[in-house]
């Protein structure tokens, strides 16, 4: 039972979060904002952005259910809404060329961009938070407290792993850019978009079942 939960929540959360964050898509944002900084300062920005992104996702995982209870939103409704958001983002990536969690244009008039806009909304934007809260609602429906604790722990580990991948991509953005090239980055973005649509549909289907069971 616990082994199945470990595989389900860790692998499911890791794949979903890597797809929604799409770390390679953050390379242009990171490079443009840190242009002109010293290598040491660029490393600091990548380090802090990874820490901030992990913190935002972990807070969403822990506090998501509290917010839903406060506003009287059912788990099923949240999962349906989150699935629709994720599917729309995936559609935009697949057919419109937009990246998920698209960050706004920011003037380069300061020397610290780690939290805004790199970590939020660059990495941990609305789509990412919706995915995290979606998993938190699934965990909250477990009846076994031990299983629930294990699921939270492995989902948190997936969050940390996702932040680690984002950090790695930003840390070595110059090397990765040369390896992928414009065509490779575009193809990867389209593939991520298709996977996001699949994840969104899965969330909607799960949410409908939960919503109907509770009605």
- The region that residue 108 occupies, defined by phi over 0 for left and psi between -120 and 50 for alpha, beta otherwise, is beta
- Dihedral (Cα; 213, 202, 3, 160), 10-degree rounding: -120
Can you tell me whether residue 98 is helix, strand or coil? coil
Domain locations in the chain as residue ranges: 37-214
What does the longest C-alpha to C-alpha distance in the chain come to? 58
- Has this prediction a pTM greater than 0.85? no
Model confidence over 146-196: pLDDT tens digits? 888 989 999 999 999 999 999 999 999 888 878 878 788 778 778 878 888
């Amino acid at each position: 039972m616990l082994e199945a939960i470990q595989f389900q929540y860790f692998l499911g959360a890791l794949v979903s979060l890597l797809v929604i964050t799409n770390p390679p898509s953050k390379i242009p944002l990171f490079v443009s904002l840190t242009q002109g900084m010293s290598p040491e300062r660029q490393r600091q920005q990548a380090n802090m952005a990874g820490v901030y992104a992990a913190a935002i996702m972990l807070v969403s995982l822990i506090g998501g259910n509290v917010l839903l209870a406060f506003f009287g939103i059912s788990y099923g409704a949240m999962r349906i809404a989150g699935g629709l958001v994720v599917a729309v983002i995936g559609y935009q990536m697949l057919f419109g060329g937009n990246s998920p969690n698209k960050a706004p244009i920011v003037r380069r008039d300061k020397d610290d961009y780690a939290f805004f806009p790199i970590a939020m909304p660059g990495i941990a934007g609305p789509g990412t938070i919706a995915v995290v809260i979606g998993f938190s609602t699934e965990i909250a429906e477990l009846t076994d407290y031990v299983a629930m604790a294990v699921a939270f722990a492995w989902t948190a580990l997936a969050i940390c792993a996702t932040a680690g991948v984002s950090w790695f991509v930003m840390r070595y953005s110059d090397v990765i850019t040369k390896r992928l090239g414009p065509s490779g980055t575009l193809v990867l973005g389209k593939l991520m978009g298709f996977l996001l649509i699949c994840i969104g549909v899965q969330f909607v289907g799960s949410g409908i079942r939960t919503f109907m069971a509770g009605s």
